[in-house]
Copies of this chain bind each other. A is one copy, B any other.
Amino acid sequence: MSRSPLSPTPSGSSGSDAAAGELPDHTEVVRRFNRSYTQRIGVLEESFLGLGMPLGTARLLYEIGVEPGTTRDLRVRLDLDSGYLSRLLRRLQSDALVTVEPDPADRRRRRVGLTAAGRQAWDELERRSADRARDLVTPLTGRQRARLAAALAEADLLVRAATVRLELTDPTAPEALAAVEAYTAELGERFPGGFEIGDLAEEPERLRPPDGAFMVATSDGSPVACGGVQALGGGVGEIKRMWVRPGWRLAGLGSRLLRHLEGVARELGHDAVRLDTHGSLTEAVAMYRRAGYREIERYNDNPHAEHFFTKNLH
Protein backbone atom coordinates (compact mmCIF):
# COMPACT_ATOMS: atom_id res chain seq x y z
CA MET A 1 0.00 0.00 0.00
CA SER A 2 1.31 3.38 -0.97
CA ARG A 3 2.75 5.90 1.40
CA SER A 4 0.44 8.29 3.07
CA PRO A 5 -0.28 11.26 0.87
CA LEU A 6 0.78 13.32 3.83
CA SER A 7 4.30 12.02 3.63
CA PRO A 8 6.69 14.37 5.33
CA THR A 9 9.17 15.27 2.65
CA PRO A 10 8.52 18.00 0.15
CA SER A 11 10.32 16.06 -2.50
CA GLY A 12 7.50 15.47 -4.88
CA SER A 13 6.58 12.07 -3.56
CA SER A 14 3.12 13.38 -2.93
CA GLY A 15 2.61 14.50 -6.49
CA SER A 16 2.10 10.97 -7.63
CA ASP A 17 -1.07 10.50 -5.63
CA ALA A 18 -3.28 12.06 -8.24
CA ALA A 19 -3.71 9.33 -10.78
CA ALA A 20 -2.65 10.22 -14.24
CA GLY A 21 -5.99 10.93 -15.85
CA GLU A 22 -7.71 12.77 -13.01
CA LEU A 23 -8.28 16.45 -12.90
CA PRO A 24 -6.29 17.85 -10.01
CA ASP A 25 -8.58 19.07 -7.31
CA HIS A 26 -5.64 20.05 -5.16
CA THR A 27 -7.15 18.74 -1.96
CA GLU A 28 -3.98 16.86 -1.28
CA VAL A 29 -2.00 20.07 -1.25
CA VAL A 30 -4.46 21.55 1.18
CA ARG A 31 -4.29 18.54 3.46
CA ARG A 32 -0.57 18.39 3.35
CA PHE A 33 -0.38 22.02 4.23
CA ASN A 34 -2.89 21.71 7.04
CA ARG A 35 -1.02 18.90 8.60
CA SER A 36 2.41 20.37 8.46
CA TYR A 37 1.29 23.85 9.33
CA THR A 38 -0.77 22.97 12.35
CA GLN A 39 1.93 20.64 13.53
CA ARG A 40 4.58 23.32 13.31
CA ILE A 41 2.68 26.42 14.17
CA GLY A 42 0.43 24.80 16.69
CA VAL A 43 -2.29 27.20 15.73
CA LEU A 44 -3.02 30.44 17.41
CA GLU A 45 -4.01 28.62 20.52
CA GLU A 46 -0.63 27.76 21.86
CA SER A 47 0.32 31.34 22.36
CA PHE A 48 -2.63 31.52 24.71
CA LEU A 49 -1.00 29.08 27.06
CA GLY A 50 1.52 29.76 29.74
CA LEU A 51 -0.08 32.83 31.20
CA GLY A 52 -1.13 30.85 34.23
CA MET A 53 -4.65 30.56 32.97
CA PRO A 54 -6.37 27.80 31.06
CA LEU A 55 -6.93 28.08 27.37
CA GLY A 56 -10.63 28.82 27.56
CA THR A 57 -10.09 31.63 29.98
CA ALA A 58 -7.32 33.13 27.86
CA ARG A 59 -9.49 32.92 24.79
CA LEU A 60 -12.25 34.75 26.58
CA LEU A 61 -9.89 37.40 27.87
CA TYR A 62 -8.57 37.88 24.37
CA GLU A 63 -12.02 38.22 22.93
CA ILE A 64 -13.00 40.79 25.54
CA GLY A 65 -9.90 42.76 24.68
CA VAL A 66 -10.65 42.69 20.99
CA GLU A 67 -14.07 44.13 21.62
CA PRO A 68 -15.69 44.56 24.98
CA GLY A 69 -19.40 43.99 25.17
CA THR A 70 -22.17 42.37 27.09
CA THR A 71 -21.99 38.83 28.33
CA ARG A 72 -24.53 37.99 25.68
CA ASP A 73 -22.24 39.22 22.89
CA LEU A 74 -19.43 37.13 24.22
CA ARG A 75 -21.58 34.07 24.53
CA VAL A 76 -22.62 34.35 20.92
CA ARG A 77 -19.15 35.17 19.66
CA LEU A 78 -17.46 32.31 21.43
CA ASP A 79 -20.42 29.97 21.39
CA LEU A 80 -20.31 29.29 25.10
CA ASP A 81 -22.83 27.97 27.55
CA SER A 82 -24.06 30.74 29.78
CA GLY A 83 -23.15 28.90 32.95
CA TYR A 84 -19.69 28.18 31.67
CA LEU A 85 -19.18 31.79 30.64
CA SER A 86 -20.33 32.95 34.01
CA ARG A 87 -17.71 30.86 35.73
CA LEU A 88 -14.95 31.93 33.38
CA LEU A 89 -15.87 35.53 33.95
CA ARG A 90 -15.85 35.06 37.68
CA ARG A 91 -12.37 33.69 37.47
CA LEU A 92 -11.16 36.63 35.41
CA GLN A 93 -12.94 38.95 37.77
CA SER A 94 -11.37 37.46 40.85
CA ASP A 95 -7.99 37.89 39.17
CA ALA A 96 -8.96 41.55 38.71
CA LEU A 97 -8.57 41.30 34.96
CA VAL A 98 -12.07 42.27 33.95
CA THR A 99 -14.87 44.41 35.25
CA VAL A 100 -18.41 43.17 35.13
CA GLU A 101 -21.23 45.59 35.74
CA PRO A 102 -24.89 45.74 34.88
CA ASP A 103 -25.72 47.19 31.52
CA PRO A 104 -27.64 50.41 32.20
CA ALA A 105 -29.69 49.86 29.07
CA ASP A 106 -30.94 46.49 30.24
CA ARG A 107 -30.09 45.58 33.77
CA ARG A 108 -30.42 41.87 33.18
CA ARG A 109 -27.31 42.01 31.08
CA ARG A 110 -23.78 42.70 32.19
CA ARG A 111 -21.18 44.74 30.43
CA VAL A 112 -17.71 43.30 30.47
CA GLY A 113 -14.54 45.25 30.03
CA LEU A 114 -10.86 44.95 30.81
CA THR A 115 -9.25 46.48 33.85
CA ALA A 116 -5.79 48.00 33.54
CA ALA A 117 -4.30 44.68 34.62
CA GLY A 118 -6.53 42.93 32.13
CA ARG A 119 -5.32 45.17 29.34
CA GLN A 120 -1.80 44.33 30.36
CA ALA A 121 -2.52 40.61 30.24
CA TRP A 122 -4.16 41.10 26.88
CA ASP A 123 -1.10 42.89 25.57
CA GLU A 124 0.93 39.97 26.77
CA LEU A 125 -1.26 37.62 24.76
CA GLU A 126 -0.82 39.82 21.74
CA ARG A 127 2.88 39.92 22.27
CA ARG A 128 3.14 36.15 22.52
CA SER A 129 1.11 35.65 19.43
CA ALA A 130 3.27 38.12 17.53
CA ASP A 131 6.40 36.49 18.90
CA ARG A 132 5.27 33.15 17.66
CA ALA A 133 4.73 34.56 14.24
CA ARG A 134 8.12 36.22 14.34
CA ASP A 135 9.79 33.02 15.47
CA LEU A 136 8.46 31.39 12.37
CA VAL A 137 9.80 34.08 10.13
CA THR A 138 13.19 34.86 11.61
CA PRO A 139 15.12 31.87 10.28
CA LEU A 140 14.27 33.00 6.78
CA THR A 141 16.16 35.48 4.67
CA GLY A 142 14.49 38.68 3.57
CA ARG A 143 13.60 37.32 0.20
CA GLN A 144 12.18 34.14 1.63
CA ARG A 145 10.13 36.13 4.10
CA ALA A 146 8.71 38.12 1.29
CA ARG A 147 7.90 34.93 -0.58
CA LEU A 148 6.24 33.45 2.50
CA ALA A 149 4.25 36.58 3.12
CA ALA A 150 3.11 36.71 -0.47
CA ALA A 151 2.14 33.06 -0.45
CA LEU A 152 0.21 33.36 2.79
CA ALA A 153 -1.53 36.52 1.68
CA GLU A 154 -2.56 34.87 -1.54
CA ALA A 155 -3.75 31.78 0.29
CA ASP A 156 -5.59 33.94 2.80
CA LEU A 157 -7.42 35.84 0.12
CA LEU A 158 -8.46 32.68 -1.67
CA VAL A 159 -9.48 30.90 1.49
CA ARG A 160 -11.56 33.85 2.53
CA ALA A 161 -13.13 33.98 -0.87
CA ALA A 162 -13.84 30.27 -0.77
CA THR A 163 -15.47 30.43 2.62
CA VAL A 164 -17.66 33.41 1.91
CA ARG A 165 -21.28 32.39 2.04
CA LEU A 166 -23.73 33.79 -0.46
CA GLU A 167 -27.02 34.22 1.24
CA LEU A 168 -30.45 35.05 -0.02
CA THR A 169 -31.23 38.24 1.80
CA ASP A 170 -34.25 40.42 1.93
CA PRO A 171 -33.51 43.71 0.16
CA THR A 172 -34.64 45.62 3.21
CA ALA A 173 -32.50 43.66 5.65
CA PRO A 174 -29.66 45.59 7.26
CA GLU A 175 -26.93 43.54 5.57
CA ALA A 176 -28.45 44.19 2.17
CA LEU A 177 -28.67 47.92 2.86
CA ALA A 178 -25.09 47.96 4.11
CA ALA A 179 -23.88 46.25 0.97
CA VAL A 180 -25.74 48.61 -1.33
CA GLU A 181 -24.50 51.53 0.65
CA ALA A 182 -20.93 50.43 0.12
CA TYR A 183 -21.75 49.95 -3.53
CA THR A 184 -23.17 53.41 -4.02
CA ALA A 185 -20.39 54.98 -1.99
CA GLU A 186 -17.90 53.47 -4.39
CA LEU A 187 -19.85 54.59 -7.43
CA GLY A 188 -20.06 58.02 -5.89
CA GLU A 189 -16.30 58.15 -5.78
CA ARG A 190 -16.03 57.11 -9.38
CA PHE A 191 -18.55 59.66 -10.62
CA PRO A 192 -17.93 62.79 -8.63
CA GLY A 193 -20.53 64.63 -10.66
CA GLY A 194 -23.05 63.06 -8.38
CA PHE A 195 -24.58 59.71 -8.61
CA GLU A 196 -28.08 58.66 -7.98
CA ILE A 197 -29.60 55.26 -8.04
CA GLY A 198 -32.96 54.37 -6.72
CA ASP A 199 -33.01 53.37 -3.12
CA LEU A 200 -32.97 49.63 -2.76
CA ALA A 201 -35.84 49.76 -0.38
CA GLU A 202 -38.02 51.59 -2.87
CA GLU A 203 -39.40 48.61 -4.66
CA PRO A 204 -38.13 45.76 -2.57
CA GLU A 205 -40.69 43.32 -3.87
CA ARG A 206 -39.02 43.25 -7.30
CA LEU A 207 -35.85 41.81 -5.72
CA ARG A 208 -37.69 39.45 -3.44
CA PRO A 209 -39.17 36.03 -4.04
CA PRO A 210 -41.24 35.08 -5.90
CA ASP A 211 -40.38 37.71 -8.52
CA GLY A 212 -36.68 38.18 -7.85
CA ALA A 213 -33.87 37.61 -5.41
CA PHE A 214 -31.09 39.47 -3.72
CA MET A 215 -27.90 37.82 -2.52
CA VAL A 216 -25.40 39.19 -0.06
CA ALA A 217 -22.00 37.71 0.73
CA THR A 218 -20.52 38.58 4.07
CA SER A 219 -17.18 37.82 5.60
CA ASP A 220 -16.46 38.48 9.24
CA GLY A 221 -19.76 40.25 9.46
CA SER A 222 -19.20 42.92 6.82
CA PRO A 223 -20.59 42.68 3.31
CA VAL A 224 -18.12 41.86 0.56
CA ALA A 225 -20.40 41.35 -2.37
CA CYS A 226 -24.02 41.62 -3.40
CA GLY A 227 -26.23 41.29 -6.42
CA GLY A 228 -29.84 40.72 -7.35
CA VAL A 229 -32.10 39.38 -10.04
CA GLN A 230 -35.40 40.91 -11.06
CA ALA A 231 -37.88 40.14 -13.81
CA LEU A 232 -38.03 42.17 -17.02
CA GLY A 233 -40.91 40.14 -18.45
CA GLY A 234 -41.01 37.82 -21.42
CA GLY A 235 -38.83 35.20 -19.78
CA VAL A 236 -35.99 37.64 -19.32
CA GLY A 237 -34.36 38.44 -16.03
CA GLU A 238 -32.11 41.34 -15.17
CA ILE A 239 -29.08 41.28 -12.95
CA LYS A 240 -28.94 44.36 -10.74
CA ARG A 241 -26.71 45.99 -8.16
CA MET A 242 -23.90 43.62 -8.63
CA TRP A 243 -20.92 44.67 -6.58
CA VAL A 244 -17.81 43.11 -5.14
CA ARG A 245 -15.68 44.85 -2.58
CA PRO A 246 -12.49 46.02 -4.31
CA GLY A 247 -9.97 43.89 -2.42
CA TRP A 248 -11.96 40.78 -3.18
CA ARG A 249 -12.15 41.12 -6.94
CA LEU A 250 -8.90 39.29 -7.51
CA ALA A 251 -10.29 36.18 -5.94
CA GLY A 252 -12.93 35.53 -8.54
CA LEU A 253 -15.76 36.32 -6.20
CA GLY A 254 -17.44 38.29 -8.96
CA SER A 255 -17.67 35.36 -11.35
CA ARG A 256 -18.85 33.13 -8.58
CA LEU A 257 -21.58 35.55 -7.64
CA LEU A 258 -22.53 36.02 -11.28
CA ARG A 259 -22.78 32.29 -11.85
CA HIS A 260 -24.90 31.99 -8.77
CA LEU A 261 -27.24 34.75 -9.88
CA GLU A 262 -27.64 33.08 -13.26
CA GLY A 263 -28.67 29.93 -11.46
CA VAL A 264 -31.18 31.91 -9.46
CA ALA A 265 -32.55 33.47 -12.61
CA ARG A 266 -32.93 30.03 -14.13
CA GLU A 267 -34.80 28.86 -11.07
CA LEU A 268 -37.06 31.86 -11.35
CA GLY A 269 -37.99 30.62 -14.80
CA HIS A 270 -36.03 33.03 -16.99
CA ASP A 271 -34.49 31.95 -20.28
CA ALA A 272 -32.00 34.78 -20.48
CA VAL A 273 -30.59 37.57 -18.37
CA ARG A 274 -29.56 41.09 -19.18
CA LEU A 275 -27.54 43.65 -17.36
CA ASP A 276 -26.16 47.11 -17.85
CA THR A 277 -22.98 48.73 -16.67
CA HIS A 278 -20.86 51.81 -16.99
CA GLY A 279 -17.94 51.71 -19.39
CA SER A 280 -15.47 52.86 -16.77
CA LEU A 281 -15.96 49.63 -14.84
CA THR A 282 -13.53 47.90 -17.12
CA GLU A 283 -12.91 44.93 -14.85
CA ALA A 284 -16.62 44.28 -14.70
CA VAL A 285 -17.04 44.53 -18.45
CA ALA A 286 -14.18 42.11 -18.98
CA MET A 287 -15.67 39.71 -16.48
CA TYR A 288 -19.06 39.74 -18.19
CA ARG A 289 -17.44 38.94 -21.51
CA ARG A 290 -15.44 36.14 -19.98
CA ALA A 291 -18.61 34.75 -18.46
CA GLY A 292 -20.23 34.43 -21.87
CA TYR A 293 -22.17 37.68 -22.08
CA ARG A 294 -22.44 39.48 -25.39
CA GLU A 295 -23.08 43.15 -25.86
CA ILE A 296 -26.46 44.31 -27.12
CA GLU A 297 -28.32 47.55 -27.78
CA ARG A 298 -29.49 49.74 -24.95
CA TYR A 299 -32.60 48.22 -23.44
CA ASN A 300 -33.38 50.81 -20.78
CA ASP A 301 -32.88 54.48 -20.08
CA ASN A 302 -30.41 54.22 -17.20
CA PRO A 303 -28.35 57.39 -17.62
CA HIS A 304 -25.31 55.87 -15.93
CA ALA A 305 -25.21 52.79 -18.14
CA GLU A 306 -23.18 52.65 -21.32
CA HIS A 307 -22.88 48.96 -21.96
CA PHE A 308 -25.65 46.43 -22.17
CA PHE A 309 -25.21 42.68 -22.11
CA THR A 310 -27.22 39.54 -22.40
CA LYS A 311 -26.64 35.87 -21.87
CA ASN A 312 -28.75 32.90 -22.78
CA LEU A 313 -29.32 30.60 -19.84
CA HIS A 314 -29.91 27.41 -21.78
A155: chain B residues at CB < 8 Å are: 33, 37, 148, 151-152, 155
How many of chain A's residues have a CB under 8 angstroms from any CB in B? 78
Cβ–Cβ contact A222 & B9, under 8 A: yes
* Contacts of A207-256 to chain B: CB distance below 8 A: 219-222, 224, 245-248, 250-252, 255-256
A246: chain B residues at CB < 8 Å are: 11
Q: With contacts A152-B151, A155-B155, A156-B33 known, is A247 near B38, CB below 8 A?
A: no
* Contacts of A255-281 to chain B: CB distance below 8 A: 255-256
Cβ–Cβ contact A252 & B144, under 8 A: yes
Cβ–Cβ contact A34 & B44, under 8 A: yes
Q: How far is the CA of A17 from the CA of B134 in the complex (A)?
A: 13
Is A146's beta carbon under 8 Å from chain B? Answer: yes
Q: How far is the CA of A75 from the CA of B151 in the complex (A)?
A: 34
Digitize A1-16: 1 where CB-to-B-CB distance is under 8 Å, 0 elsewhere: 0001011111110000
Digitize A25-56: 1 where CB-to-B-CB distance is under 8 Å, 0 elsewhere: 11111111111111011011100000000000
A32's contact among B7, B11, B156, by CB below 8 Å, is which?
Answer: B156
Is A203's beta carbon under 8 Å from chain B? Answer: no
A26: nearest chain-B partner, CB-CB = B149
A314: chain B residues at CB < 8 Å are: none
A26's contact among B10, B137, B251, by CB below 8 Å, is which?
Answer: B137
Cβ–Cβ contact B36 & A41, under 8 A: no
Is A159's beta carbon under 8 Å from chain B? Answer: yes
Is A282's beta carbon under 8 Å from chain B? Answer: no
CB A17 to nearest CB in B, in angstroms, measures: 8
A67: chain B residues at CB < 8 Å are: 4
Chain A positions within 8 Å of B, measured between CB atoms, are 4, 6-12, 17, 23-38, 40-41, 43-45, 66-67, 129-130, 133-134, 136-149, 151-164, 219-222, 224, 245-248, 250-252, 255-256
A221: chain B residues at CB < 8 Å are: 8
A38, A40, A153, A251: most-surrounded residue (chain B CB, <10 A): A153
Cβ–Cβ contact B30 & A160, under 8 A: no
A247's contact among B10, B31, B159, B224, by CB below 8 Å, is which?
Answer: B10
